[in-house]
Structure 1
Amino acid sequence: MNLILFEPEELEPDMTITLKAGDIRAVHLKKILKAETGTSFEAGILNGMQGKASITDISEKIISLRFSAEAEPVGLHPLTLLLGLSRPPTVKKVLKEATALGIERFVLCGTENGERSYIQSSALKDEKIREVLIEGVQQAVCTQLPEVRVEHSLRCAIESLQPEADKAVLIALDNYQATISLSEFWKIENNKASRVTLAIGSERGWTDKERQRLRDAGFTLCSLGARVLRTETASIAGASVCLSGMGLI
């Protein structure tokens, strides 16, 4: 944890917070940071202010803290990652690492090549997803959580994004029918995009039908080169190239 986060409701009006001994954050403070009374560390309120917290009292049962707000939350980047559902551990990796990059929104969807059972995985429950997102923002020393939506199909995912499609640059990664590399695409776009949607297929990629659906919706098929990459690798590499192309990293 590079930043320890607290829920807004944990913060008392006098800016104090109390953690019970079994709380994972209390365990981290005691065992990893070797904290004691007076110890100060990076802290933040979820979707709120960032600052420092200092320990005012520590015992076997509780840790008492005082939070001091120092800065407004760091904003998220206007990038939506449309991700075909893959194995739950893969989805978890993508959510965590892409959240650390500052991606604003994830739209997870079932695909024709993806296992139908993925959409019913317990890993997609709201509380499980939230845990992973929190890990990502704590790594990045930020407090803002991205939005996550789950759709049953690529068609539903595209339709859910339709209201803002005219304002976004639409890109789909594809190894087989891409017409341009992602890096070449951004040389042409040249920092002109204010919002981007990047679509990445599940572990076996897109079907021909899905590629056509993406084209019909206005997506440009781009490649990350000749190598076939894992979904988690393609997701982070593709998102990084897009954020760089937008002039954001």
Structure 2
Amino acid sequence: MNTKSDTREKLYSCKVCGSSLKSKQSLARHMQTHTGEKPHSCEVCGFSCIRKPDLIIHKRKHTGEKPYSCEVCGGSFTNKRSLVIHMRTHTGEKPYSCEVCSTPFAQKQHILGHMRTHTGEKPYSCEVCGSSFAHKYAKLQHMRTHTGDKPYSCEVCSTPFTYRRSLIIHMRTHTGEKPYSCEVCGSSFALKHHMLEHMQTHTGEKPYSCEVCGTSFSRKRDLFIHIRIHTGEKPYSCEVCGSSFALKHHMLRHKQTHTREKLIL
């Protein structure tokens, strides 16, 4: 037997797309999605939307109000949906899966970006150099290489960074955090690639080879330094006498000779 609400749903149908609505007011709001009408506007920035609740949430960007709080970490949010999504970082819940490779995601919108790894689509292009990107945020980060913008600053020493991840890594120089550990000897490292390079000291692997003489190295940095033997590059100079050196520690050791000379005098 049909309930009264079931009957009401059938009374209000959209003539454009056939959607069924629960009330006349709901139908009126729905029709605005077809007409493009956005009757609710923000007095501060001019943002407009169809639903009044969306405007209330938007205004919190200006007031700074964040009424929804996480009971686990204390993080606060402007709307309930953001809190629900945030809670998945604590619960590990990932309710959305890729239909191609079954990779799980916490947010449905992340699947859309992930699918481009399968299709190869890169819809976001740089207006300056023409480079293309699969994600909008990747393009925005790339643009900073042209503008020189460094929006992330260290709260300890004020060093600015182009990328948020670079700031996170930099903070380890202040905190001493070394989250990557060697499974063989237990040595810890601040950067993952440093740990991977260290692992090669146990395996004996030397993947970096000199194109000039064939000498191989376990660390890429060691190859860069070695190359200076062939190029003659000496990037470190003594501020006192102008002597130049291929290695920084050689330059620092040389500068001590000037300090000793002053002590003798």
- Normalization by structure 1: what TM-score? 0.20
Larger RCO of the pair (alpha carbons < 8 Å, separation 6+):
1
- Normalization by structure 2: what TM-score? 0.19
Larger radius of gyration: 2
Q: Which has the higher strand share?
A: 1
